[in-house]
Amino acid sequence: MTKLVYILNGPNLNLLGKRQPEIYGHDTLADVEAACAAVAAGAGLAAKLMQSNYEGQIIDWIHEAREAAAGIIINPAALSHTSVAVLDALNTFDGPVIEVHISNIHKREAFRHHSYVSARADGVIAGCGVEGYALAMRRMASLLA
Ligand code: DQA
Buried b (16+ CB within 10 A) or exposed e, 59-73: bebbeebeeebbbbb
Q: Which atom of ligand 1 is nearest to the CA of 127?
A: 11
Taking only the tens of pLDDT, the chain with its 145 residues reads 899 999 999 999 999 999 999 999 999 999 999 999 999 999 999 999 999 999 999 999 999 999 999 999 999 999 999 999 999 999 999 999 999 999 999 999 999 999 999 999 999 999 999 999 999 999 999 999 9
Question: How confident is the model at residue 89, as a pLDDT?
Answer: 99
Q: Which residue is closest in CA terms to ligand 1's atom 13? A: 77
Q: Which residues are near ligand 1 (CB < 6 Å)? A: 12, 75, 77-78, 80, 101-103, 105, 112
What is 3-144's CATH superfamily? Dehydroquinase, class II (3.40.50.9100)
pTM exceeds 0.95 for this model: yes
54 classed as catalytic:
no
Compute, in angstroms, the gap from residue 14 CA to the centroid of ligand 1.
Answer: 12
Task: Please state, rounded to an integer, the average pLDDT across all residues of the chain.
Answer: 98
Each residue's pLDDT tens digit, 87-104? 999 999 999 999 999 999
Question: How confident is the model at residue 1, as a pLDDT?
Answer: 83
